[in-house]
Amino acid sequence: MLKDTMLYLARQESIRRFVSTNGAARRMSRRFVAGETLDDAIAATRPLNQQHISVSLDHLGENVADAAEARATAQGYITILDRISAEGVEANISIKLTALGLDISEDLCRENLLLLMRRARDLNIFVRLDMEGSAYTQRTMDFVLELRKDFDQVGTVLQSMLHRTPKDVEALIATNTRVRLVKGAYLEPSAIAYPRKADVDAKYVECMHALLERGAYPAIATHDEHIIAETKRFAAAHDISKARFEFQMLYGIRRDLQEKLAREGYNVRVYIPYGTQWYPYLTRRMAERPANLIFIASNAFRG
């Protein structure tokens, strides 16, 4: 019920406008969103890199309204790629296809994506196509498999909550495509997604095992300490070196655990979102893990 409520709130434009202009809410968001500018994101990246933690930068935004906005977003991501290279930070990027115009036209999205991917290839920077709601799952899979024919530095995200995910895992393993495995943060019908957390967790572990054994440098994206422990156990039991995978976590959540894993010699990457459209992102994070809501609420009004 809590998850459904939070995901409903994430879609309400009137609430988004109120929260986004509320001073206390904006201050609270800075704990979990690096800021509103690329300068803010780079500033948040440097101290993490100093702790041997990599980052994935995401300029928040999705479902653009017109072609001009989609092309501007693509150019914005090229600016991010250039800035990563110029600053010498250890970072890659994550991007949503709807931000590149997928809702407007697949051809427009492809045009923008190819422009971005060619620049990423020139700079040798990895690009992650984020997975959105289930209405976009197959189209995202189609795009990433198409791109893999010409680009090495591209991967995507799979959500263990969806019934289809084990099959998608196998398709991406077969094409040597990098996967970030998450539980999922969208409200989906039970016909296509597991409603029970226990089932989502069980499928996560099943997919994680397959990716560790046969996948291309998978990203195990979770704050769940039981799943992290199982990842470490499985890797050790199957002689899978720490260099063959990475843990991924969200900016501002479980920093202690991020630092601990890095000290233990595991590859760790932190997902750093930034931009003015932080409200939908923050509500989805609260929805997917109730502990996040408690943590965010307890920190909302601290200086």
Q: Residue 11 catalytic? A: no
> What are the distances in angstroms from CA 52 to CA 48, 49, 260?
7, 5, 11
Residues 80, 59: Cα–Cα separation, whole Å: 9
Of 24, 25, 22, 111, nearest to 75 by C-alpha is: 111
Of 142, 152, 68, 56, nearest to 112 by C-alpha is: 68
At 290, the amino acid letter reads P
Compute how many other C-beta atoms are within 10 angstroms of the C-beta atom of residue 195.
Answer: 12
Compute how many other C-beta atoms are within 10 angstroms of the C-beta atom of residue 7.
Answer: 20
Digitized pLDDT (tens) for each residue of the chain, 303 residues in all: 544 544 444 454 544 454 455 554 555 555 788 888 999 999 999 999 999 999 999 998 767 889 999 999 999 999 999 999 999 999 999 999 999 999 999 999 999 999 999 999 999 999 999 999 999 999 999 999 999 999 999 999 999 999 999 999 999 999 999 999 999 978 899 999 999 999 999 999 999 999 999 999 999 999 999 999 999 999 999 999 999 999 999 998 899 999 999 999 999 999 999 987 666 666 655 555 555 444 444 444 333
Q: For the chain, which domains are there? A: 1-33+283-303 (no CATH), 36-277 (3.20.20.220)
Token pair of 272 as six digits: 């750093």
Of 287, 280, 283, nearest to 96 by C-alpha is: 280
Token pair of 203 as six digits: 């499928």
Q: What is the DSSP letter of 162?
A: B
CA 85 to chain centre: 21
**Predicted local confidence at residue 276, as pLDDT:** 75
Catalytic pick among 180, 284, 285, 289: 180
First to last CA, the chain: 31
Residues 223, 259: Cα–Cα separation, whole Å: 13
Contacts of 45 (CB under 8 A, 6+ apart): 55, 57, 89, 90, 91, 272
Token pair of 261 as six digits: 């894993």
Catalytic pick among 130, 254, 269, 289: 130
**Would you say 32 and 282 are in contact if contact means Cβ atoms under 8 Å apart?**
yes
Provide the β-strand partners of residue 56. 92, 271
Angle between helices 2-10 and 279-288 (to 10 degrees): 170
Q: Residue 130 catalytic? A: yes
**Would you say 71 and 33 are in contact if contact means Cβ atoms under 8 Å apart?**
no
Residues 253, 222: Cα–Cα separation, whole Å: 10
pTM score over 0.75: yes
Cβ-based burial of 153 (10 A; exposed 0-12, middle 13-18, buried ≥19): middle
Contacts of 88 (CB under 8 A, 6+ apart): none
